Structure 1
Amino acid sequence: MTDDPADAAGEDDSAADGDLSLDRFHEALEAEERPIATASEVARRLGTTQSAARDALAALVDRGDVDRLDVESDPVVFYPTDWGRLATRERVVAFPNRREIVVDRPTQFTRARLSQFAHLVDTTGTEPGTRGYLYRIRQEDVWAAPFDDADALIGSLRSVLPRRYDHLEEWIRDQWRRAHRFRLYTHEDGYVVLEAASESLMGNVADQHLDDDHLRAPISETEAWVNEEAVAEVKRALYDAGYPVEDDRDLDAGDPVDVDLTTDLRPYQETWVETFLERRSGVYVGPPGSGKTVAAIATIAAVGGETLILVPSRELAGQWREELLDHSTIDPADIGLYHGGQKEIRPITIATYQIAGMDRHRSLFDSRKWGLICFDEAHHISAPVYSRTAELQSKHRLGLSATPVRETGSEEEIYTLIGQPIGADWDELFEAGFVQEPEVEIRYVPWRDELARNEYASADGRERRRLAAENPAKIEEVRYLLAAHRDKKALVFIEFLDQGEAIADALGIPFISGETPHRERAELFRRFREGDGTREEPGSDGDDVDTLVVSRVGDEGIDLPNAEVAIVASGLGGSRRQGSQRAGRTMRPAGSALVYVLATRGSGEEEFAQRQMRHLARKGIRVRETNVAE
């Protein structure tokens, strides 16, 4: 079929007879790729006269199925009265020119198919089974699609769309061809070669986008000898040019490591591991609590070679060691920690990004033949201070991240340096019961007094943001929320240290920041994990810790699975990823989870809160808003 209007709808005798069904009207809207339409547009799409279409639409208006809007200086437009009525069954609407697909009430089959080649952009609605899904087909999604050829990908696309879209299919075929035009391989003499599918590609693409120090010398019209130290830069440059590189190098798998998994994987985790082993690279993407670390340990066991695990902090390094011991048969003597506190190289080595990227340690890591490098909290590698670690090469590259999105939009760089995303739809995990969906509430807190409001009004820049963040009224709001959930473990997140100390002093609870000594920090986290959930009275000397005030050090990589309440008192100027990390601290397989975001009313925090939480709402999490009384 084509995109021609007549082919899309054909002659419609029912419209000519004045009997137009709501479904036929909706089909006309789909063809127009707009939520509204004029009578002439409906007539054109349904192959009838404008007069007949106007009469048929008037009948729909009389029945209450369609509303009309008289727009000044424009024709009358018509739209469905209740779009929700259209979602009593699955409905797939394609917008081929924008490469977008909207699905109301998608079946599990449709969602599974779409996840193979499309990116979930947004969800609407609040209840499972009633949500609408917006997917976008991006070039990187086509490049990473798990198919043997373009025909198989197109077949999967056709299985979910209501009809064929030739222009969209041709664009997908073109992107598929782009993803298979360059490859890296190891020459029989041991050096790395970049091979292009044609002479023109090598001349017009590679030569224009690669620097002189990336390639040592030409080998033929379609091949060039690559500087091994520049492999990561070559892959990044060609990816940016729209040509992802297939990496077929014969990299060393490292010495074998004897390790088996002792934990049963969930079905989606098994799929992650199987997909990774086929590709030899990728990023496990899933919400906190979805078991990315366990899936990574299963991957380590499956690869069976020397492994380097890169993490952002010493705390996370220690947690990784415990997870390996809990979920595998690894000998403790085969695990080494390499950070500011100790430096051990073992068959499985856990190092911090910062140490691994330093020149004086880099040569040591480069000299090892790693079978697998695992980048935990993978979004770190696109930050300048950590990017050198991405140049470490191994036969397998695995990343882990809940939300591999940075405000700079450099998620493509993550996938270039590590691999393409492999993961589950957050909403799918919520509905399946693997991860408990948190309840998120933005609470708009008033200024405590007119003096504080005036001080904010007269400030500007960073000072204004700090004053809104440290609004003294937030201390009483935190006190109120903790009292309302006295039987739950709680984390209070802050951005500014002065506010953290003020909340901790006022409420008599511990405060953890980057200035807290490592040993004291680890002990407080231990007591929090082992607490029974009954909050001690402020100032008591009980051994359990049921509430912590935490600075950015707690935003990621801290495993506190029994946190039941998260209160974000400040930090709303941060990234969408930071908002997801903080909300994610309460995600776990069972039990209710609550996230409160405090924003000073009438300040820039209102917009920041809505932006951060909108990112969560797109993943299917319900977000509500409350105005706190003055």
Structure 2
Amino acid sequence: MTDERSSSADAGSDARDDPASTDSSDEPGADVESSGDETDASRLSLDRFHEACQQVGRPVLTADAVARSLERSQEAVSEDLEALAEAGSVQRLSVSNDPVVWYPSELEDLTEEERVVVFPKRREIVVDRPTQFTRAQLSQFAHLADGNGEEGYRYVVRPEDVWQAPHDEFEALARTMRQALGQRSEELEEWVRSQWERARQFRLYTHEDGYTVLEAQTPEVMGNVARQKLDEEHVHAPISDTEDWVREGAEAAIKRILYEAGYPVQDHRDLDAGDALEVDLEVSLRDYQRTWVDRFAEAGEGVFVGPPGSGKTVAAMGAMAEVGGETLVLVPSRDLARQWADAVVEYTSLGPHQVGQYHGGQKNVRPVTIATYQIAGMDRHRSLFDDREWGLVIFDECQHVPSDVYRRSTHLQSQHRLGLSASPIREDDRQTEIFTLVGPPIGTDWQALFDAGFVAEPELEIRYVPWGDDEQRNAYASAEGQEKYRIAARNRGKVDEVRFLLRDHHDAKALVFVDYLAQGRELAEALDAPFLSGETPHHERRRLLDEFRRNERDLLIVSRVGDEGIDLPTADLAIVASGLGGSRRQGTQRAGRTMRPAGGALVYVLATRGSREEEFARRQLQHLGRKGMTVRERTVDREPDGEEADSSEAT
């Protein structure tokens, strides 16, 4: 029988950043009002600092966390912490990508020092017990490839990491490297210098007559690289030995082609600045969000990359306030357009009359317009967006940009371009196009956010489930290719496993994810719970999700539409009955539905034991393991009474 894959017609991608989680009263960056004049008796002592640590449950605190714990103003607490630091009672750790944190001096005696080992030929760095400072410095020029917090962190220095390093001069980057490594690695430094220079060989600029020019540093690099890779589709004719006249609309293609050749292009064009629009952000940004916005403001382009719950949407509103120009936001679905419009009105100084939506449901172009990618890419609507000069274009869920449908919207070039993504990886390996069409990644180490308490690390467990009946087991044995995965994914034994987990966590608010409509309907019937899919009308989706948010409903069955294009509420428990064999990004998003500051969340991934699905689930979740999350594995054996028998577990 032919099965239906769950619809993603209304879908976008990735977990949504819950604006409610950034309410200024809960933010580490929110000010706490003083109840009165400060007195000597109320000043911060080392004992009171220890009390704050005990209350919060962490030995390392930001000044804001201490202020909230002691119900004092942030300014006063910061002054007291400085005084304690001068006396040697506490230590401060100030880094560029993470919050400033404070900890008792004696804590240093209880921890082992970090160890950094450099492998220059492999361009790898292994760090055991890295400090926040070291991780922040490494993130400026290296990629975290593996890290679980116990066996150490493995960083790889890739060309693209050097190309996007947030430094104007190489010597500044070299100093950052030496601070992170605690030493000078001449071989690695020389290679980094060569990549730094490659990133400055080409630039696009606007000629005084209004057309775009591609300029190379030398005639040799122009002749041996650009003029070998580009043709008449991209350039009209040479202007000089180092300059070519660029065809209108070919700029994005030129940037992509030269990027793939190992030469990223500096974009210095005089692009549309857009009409001025005064925007004030009415919530406080966390320190790392402020760092994202500052790096974006300096470069004029970039992609905010962070786990679900890290506040990418609010940071994007911070970028809107920084740019101060009319803004176009592109989203995958009308559901996200509505959520964006509500969030902009709630968290900025803009009123509803200044925010418009443009999609199948309504068509209003206003100073801030939220449109779907599909509409923006259609020829009959394109002029509506082209005719208005946008100071900022935001590409939400920008991992979709390289796809043929979505990339048509990237003709909208503005002075500032910003992408948002929890996981800008693609199974077709076209993620480099994201950074050439939108901008380089700007992000924070996931583990740093876990450690700082901004995002809770969920407990993630793969559970290998036995077959529910011999009919499916025999069908799997005789099937071939993708049919094997489909049968394993729809293993009826998973219904009993979902029942067991829900009974075991009876107080939890739960989301159950499926990849197949028939499986979703079967689970919905067995559990007497609603099934939310692409076939669910928009008004019905909104009602069900609102009931879940208000705690009027504690269980939803969700299809792939939950990964793409709607803002799912936070859950205590996520059960992935099928779907993680699809993509690494999907694994990130479904696990991410529990990544919020509250903590204590659980994610269970069900895979049929001994099938291809088992292999897929293990491989795809390695991506989360490399981001610092702990992934456990358990083989399930079920007794006739439904109780769990002995099982094997591996960490």
TM-score of the pair, normalised by structure 2: 0.79
Distance 2:580 2:480 in 1: 17
Distance 1:327 1:163 in 2: 45
The residue number in structure 1 matching 2:519 is 499
Matching residue within 117, 122, 134 for 2:141: 117
Distance 1:562 1:219 in 2: 57
Distance 1:319 1:611 in 2: 33
Letter in 2 for 1:98: R
The residue number in structure 1 matching 2:296 is 276
Matches within 5 A, 1:51-62: none
Distance 1:109 1:463 in 2: 49
The residue number in structure 2 matching 1:594 is 602
Distance 1:162 1:279 in 2: 28
The residue matched to 2:180 in structure 1 has which SS?
coil
Matches within 5 A, 1:143-222: 143-222=163-242
Higher-Rg structure is: 1
The residue matched to 1:382 in structure 2 has which SS?
coil
Matching residue within 212, 220, 235 for 2:255: 235
Matches within 5 A, 1:449-528: 449-528=469-548
The residue number in structure 1 matching 2:273 is 253
Pair 1:105-2:129 in alignment: yes
Distance 1:468 1:377 in 2: 30
Q: Is the 8 A contact 1:104 1:132 kept in 2?
A: yes
Distance 2:532 2:186 in 1: 57
Distance 1:263 1:425 in 2: 23
Matching residue within 566, 573, 576 for 1:568: 576
Range 145-154 or range 580-589, more displaced: 145-154
The residue number in structure 2 matching 1:625 is 633
Letter in 2 for 1:565: L
Distance 2:518 2:296 in 1: 45
Q: Is the 8 A contact 1:561 1:586 kept in 2?
A: no
Distance 2:364 2:386 in 1: 15
Q: Is the 8 A contact 2:458 2:599 kept in 1?
A: no
Matching residue within 287, 305, 314 for 2:325: 305
Range 316-325 or range 157-166, more displaced: 157-166
Distance 2:421 2:220 in 1: 38
The residue number in structure 2 matching 1:379 is 399
Pair 1:422-2:434 in alignment: no
Q: How far is 1:557 from its partner?
A: 4.3
Letter in 2 for 1:593: A
Pair 1:434-2:442 in alignment: no
Q: Is the 8 A contact 2:562 2:568 kept in 1?
A: no
Q: How far is 1:89 from its partner?
A: 2.1
The residue number in structure 2 matching 1:40 is none
The residue number in structure 1 matching 2:465 is 445
Matches within 5 A, 1:8-157: 88-125=112-149, 130-157=150-177
Q: How far is 1:560 from its partner?
A: 3.0
Distance 2:185 2:629 in 1: 32
Matching residue within 614, 617, 622 for 1:606: 614
Q: How far is 1:442 from its partner?
A: 0.7
Deviations 1:449-493 (A, max 9, x none): 223211111111222211101111111111111122222211111
Matching residue within 358, 363, 368 for 2:378: 358
Q: Structure 1: where are the runs of 5+ without partners?
A: 1-86, 532-543
Q: Is the 8 A contact 2:457 2:599 kept in 1?
A: no
Deviations 1:345-375 (A, max 9, x none): 1111111111111222223222221110101
Deviations 1:189-244 (A, max 9, x none): 11111111111122111111112121122221111211121111111111111111
The residue number in structure 1 matching 2:69 is none
Q: How far is 1:410 from its partner?
A: 2.1
The residue number in structure 1 matching 2:430 is 410
Q: Which has the higher contact order (CA 8 A, sep 6+)?
A: 2
Distance 1:561 1:184 in 2: 43
Q: Is the 8 A contact 1:289 1:561 kept in 2?
A: no
Q: Is the 8 A contact 2:148 2:629 kept in 1?
A: no
Letter in 2 for 1:198: T
Range 218-227 or range 171-180, more displaced: 218-227
The residue matched to 2:549 in structure 1 has which SS?
helix
Matching residue within 248, 259, 265 for 2:285: 265
Q: How far is 1:409 from its partner?
A: 2.1
Q: Is the 8 A contact 1:561 1:587 kept in 2?
A: no
The residue matched to 1:437 in structure 2 has which SS?
coil
Deviations 1:558-617 (A, max 9, x none): 333431111100113211010000000111111311101000001011111111211111
Q: How far is 1:160 from its partner?
A: 2.7
Aligned length: 528
Letter in 1 for 2:290: E
Q: How far is 1:169 from its partner?
A: 1.6
Q: Is the 8 A contact 1:439 1:595 kept in 2?
A: yes
Distance 2:541 2:590 in 1: 18
Distance 1:560 1:519 in 2: 15
Give the direction of change, closer, same or farther, for the CA distance of 1:433–1:447 in structure 2 (3 Å limit). same
Q: How far is 1:323 from its partner?
A: 1.1
The residue matched to 2:181 in structure 1 has which SS?
coil
Q: How far is 1:162 from its partner?
A: 4.9
Q: How far is 1:524 from its partner?
A: 1.3
Deviations 1:362-403 (A, max 9, x none): 232222211101011110101222111122201000011111
Letter in 2 for 1:110: T
Q: How far is 1:161 from its partner?
A: 2.5
Distance 1:494 1:136 in 2: 35
The residue number in structure 2 matching 1:582 is 590
The residue matched to 1:293 in structure 2 has which SS?
helix
Percent identity over paired residues: 64
The residue matched to 2:511 in structure 1 has which SS?
strand
TM-score of the pair, normalised by structure 1: 0.82
The residue number in structure 2 matching 1:75 is none
Distance 2:513 2:318 in 1: 32
Distance 2:151 2:567 in 1: 31
Letter in 2 for 1:109: F
Distance 1:329 1:245 in 2: 36
Q: How far is 1:131 from its partner?
A: 4.8
The residue number in structure 2 matching 1:63 is none
Q: How far is 1:625 from its partner?
A: 1.3
Distance 1:151 1:592 in 2: 44
Letter in 2 for 1:581: Q
Q: Is the 8 A contact 1:561 1:588 kept in 2?
A: no
